[in-house]
Amino acid sequence: MTGKGPLMSKNHSHPFKAFARVLLTFGMALFVLAGALDLQVVAKPRTHTVAIRGMNYLPPTLIVNVGDTVVWKNEDMVPHTVTDRGKSFESGSIVSGASWSYVANKKGTYTYYCTFHPNMNSKLIVR
């Protein structure tokens, strides 16, 4: 009996180690999956604000991710527009104190301006 002890113990240890390896692999897979889920949480859509102030768009260049929302708030006394030169978006008149928002659904670099004041220019980069 005693002679079989180590043998039995060895026989028992193999399935245990295999099971442990499966558990470890499964755990790592879970860890990686959780990481991936975490990444998705970090990349959830955000809202960015551009101030229209002193006849400027501030910041002059804004970089956002696909799905983000951009809000332009007119802090000037006079009306403005947010008009893409490539015609992807057009706010119409934004009066003093009002805002206009746009969901950036397509990657690209958009140069926009104010149709009322053509020397007001800015850039939106969607990546």
Partner 1 sequence: MKNLNIRLISITAALAVVTAMSVGAAAFTTTYERVSNHVVASPPATIAAVTDAQIAAIVVAANAVDIKTGELAQSKTKNPKVKEFADTMVRDHTAVNKAAVDLVTKLGVTPEENDTSRSLTSNGDQTREQLRGLSGKEFDTAYIDNEVTYHELVIKAIDDTLIPNAQNAELKALLIKVRPSFVTHLQHAERLKASLAGKKS
Q: Does position 117 bind partner 1 by CB under 8 A?
A: yes
Q: Which of 55, 63, 71, 125 binds partner 1 (CB under 8 A)?
A: 55
Residue 121 CB coordination number (10 Å): 14
Q: What is the DSSP string of 65-103?
A: -TT-EEEEEE-SSS-B--EETTSS-B---B-TT-EEEEE
Q: Which of 120, 122, 124, 126 binds partner 1 (CB under 8 A)?
A: 120
Report the sign of the C-alpha dihedral through residues 10, 11, 15, 21, in that order.
positive
Q: Does position 5 bind partner 1 by CB under 8 A?
A: no
**Number of residues engaging partner 1 in binding (CB under 8 A):** 14
Q: Does position 25 bind partner 1 by CB under 8 A?
A: no
Q: Which of 52, 57, 62, 76 binds partner 1 (CB under 8 A)?
A: 76
* Residue 80 near residue 52, CB atoms below 8 Å: yes
C-beta of 80 vs 104, nearer to partner 1: 80
